[in-house]
Amino acid sequence: MKRLLERIDREILAAGGKRSRSRAVVIEGFFRARDHVTIDELTRSVRESAPGIGAVTVYRTLKLLERLGYAKELDFGEGARRYESNLSPHHDHLVCRRCGTVIEFEDREIENLQVLVTRRHGFHPTAHRLEIYGFCRKCASGDSPERFR
Amino acid sequence: MKRLLERIDREILAAGGKRSRSRAVVIEGFFRARDHVTIDELTRSVRESAPGIGAVTVYRTLKLLERLGYAKELDFGEGARRYESNLSPHHDHLVCRRCGTVIEFEDREIENLQVLVTRRHGFHPTAHRLEIYGFCRKCASGDSPERFR
DNA sequence: TATTATTATGATAATGAATTTCATAATCAT
DNA sequence: ATGATTATGAAATTCATTATCATAATAATA
Ligand SMILES: [Zn+2]
Ligand SMILES: [Zn+2]
Ligand SMILES: [Zn+2]
Ligand SMILES: [Zn+2]
């Protein structure tokens, strides 16, 4: 974690940016948070230890992390975007519509078939999003959900 | 088309709704329009023949069509949603980031693999979205785009 | 260290899509 | 026709996100 933060710091400096306490707090908070957080969730969490931090700084910092390749923007159709760290390899998502649980999966076969599809249409892919919505095991079985989103 | 409009009319009546001229114009305009339209695009198009129609009515009518199963809401991450008629079988989308062209495709193999993935996680799928973003043949080859979005 | 230039912050305002409100109009059943 | 109900459209509201801007923090320079 320390190494990561230092590396990001160096990249920001190299790009003409300056160090800032607020930003450091947000970045550390982001990597500590559970993945797939909204700006609002992250802002609240970060404010517990640093109450002065404005939501705008959280917005800006996540955009910055995205530009640097450390964060990915997600949209599960909830109105607000979510962000996840971009350190682990590519994956897609199963999203529970009841409790909000997000399960990550990776399927090489699906990825390969996507490439074939684009090839058939002379299309040059740069990114894709695959989300499967429904109910997780718990919610489908009738157990009460742990939380709502 | 006439048959379709009458069928929808009957379903609206059966559900306790009433006929309305504005709504009929919007519905017909929607099915005539090229697919994947935004509310704004559809509103403009519909207003050419019926200038008085409010954008709110277009919003409401598309939500209604969606509830009745005749329209699908799409989101290509452009800020505004798009809608397509839900008469043709399920398909997914290739979206050109340069000219906005949308290519529809259907791949049974990918669909099957998705089911297997959810099964592995005890997840009960109800819907999914798969979009591949990139550049269409024309845009990738350097030809000038036909239109921007 | 003092000075200067540049970048970052955070409160507030602005934006824009989507929804809600509400008075009026249209439609349907009696 | 009458009354009840639903639909309309203008305007207001909501909400996430972005822009503005005066101030603060940081880094480079003297
Ligand atoms: Zn669940
Ligand atoms: Zn993820
Ligand atoms: Zn194109
Ligand atoms: Zn389509």
Query: Which bases on strand D have an atom closer than 7 Å to a protein beta carbon?
Result: 5-11, 15-20, 25-28
A62 pLDDT higher than 80: yes
Q: What is the pLDDT of residues B52-75, one digit of tens each?
A: 999 999 999 999 999 999 999 999
Q: What is the pLDDT of residue B141?
A: 86
Query: Considering only alpha carbons, which residue of chain B is nearest residue A110?
Result: B110
CA distances from A108 to A113, B113, B130 (A): 9, 10, 15
Is B122's CB within 8 Å of A140's CB?
Answer: yes
What average pLDDT does this structure show over A33-57? 96
The answer regarding whether domain A92-147 maps to CATH 3.30.420.40 reads no
The phi-psi region of residue B54 (left if phi > 0; otherwise alpha if psi is between -120 and 50; otherwise beta) is: beta
Q: How confident is the model at residue B149 (pLDDT cuts 50, 70, 90)?
A: very low
What average pLDDT does this structure show over B72-89? 96
What average pLDDT does this structure show over A39-51? 97
A144 pLDDT higher than 80: no
Work out the percent of chain B whose per-residue pLDDT is above 90.
Answer: 91
List, in order, residues 6 or more apart from A23 with CB less than 8 Å away: A57, A61, A64
Query: SS in 3 state form for chain B?
Result: CHHHHHHHHHHHHHCCCCCCHHHHHHHHHHHHCCCCEEHHHHHHHHHHHCCCCCHHHHHHHHHHHHHHCCEEEECCCCCCCEEEECCCCCCEEEEECCCCCEEEECCHHHHHHHHHHHHHCCCEEEEEEEEEEEECHHHHCCCCCCCCC
Q: What is the pLDDT of residue B1?
A: 87
| Least confident window among A23-32, A139-148, B132-141 | A139-148
Q: Which of A77, A125, A134 sits opposite B134 (nearest CB)?
A: A125
Q: How far is the CA of A31 from the centre of ligand 2 (A)?
A: 13
Ligand closest to CA A91: 2
Q: What is the pLDDT of residue A147?
A: 45
What average pLDDT does this structure show over A109-136? 97
What average pLDDT does this structure show over A16-33? 97
Q: What is the pLDDT of residues A65-95, one digit of tens each?
A: 999 999 999 999 999 999 999 999 999 999 9
Ranges for all domains in chain A classified under CATH 1.10.10.10 = 2-85
Q: What is the pLDDT of residues B34-54, one digit of tens each?
A: 999 999 999 999 999 999 999
| pTM check: above 0.85 | yes
Q: How confident is the model at residue B142 (pLDDT cuts 50, 70, 90)?
A: confident
Work out the percent of chain B whose per-residue pLDDT is above 70.
Answer: 95
B145 pLDDT higher than 80: no
What average pLDDT does this structure show over B128-134? 97
Phi, psi of A68 (to 5 degrees): -80, -10
Q: How far is the CA of B69 from the centre of ligand 4 (A)?
A: 15
Ranges for all domains in chain A classified under CATH 3.30.1490.190 = 92-147
Q: Across all residues in chain B, what is the average pLDDT?
A: 94
What average pLDDT does this structure show over A113-130? 97
Q: How confident is the model at residue B143 (pLDDT cuts 50, 70, 90)?
A: low
What average pLDDT does this structure show over B87-101? 95
Chain A contacts of B72, Cβ < 8 Å?
none
Q: Which of A128, A132, A140 sits opposite B132 (nearest CB)?
A: A128
Q: How confident is the model at residue A4 (pLDDT cuts 50, 70, 90)?
A: very high
Q: How far is the CA of B134 from the centre of ligand 3 (A)?
A: 8
CB < 7 A from strand C, the residues are: A 12, 16-18, 20, 22-23, 52-54, 56-57, 60-61; B 13, 18-21, 38-40, 55-56, 59-60, 63, 79-81
Cα B109 from chain centroid (whole Å): 24
Q: Across all residues in chain A, what is the average pLDDT?
A: 94
Question: Under CATH, which number does the domain A2-85 receive?
Answer: 1.10.10.10
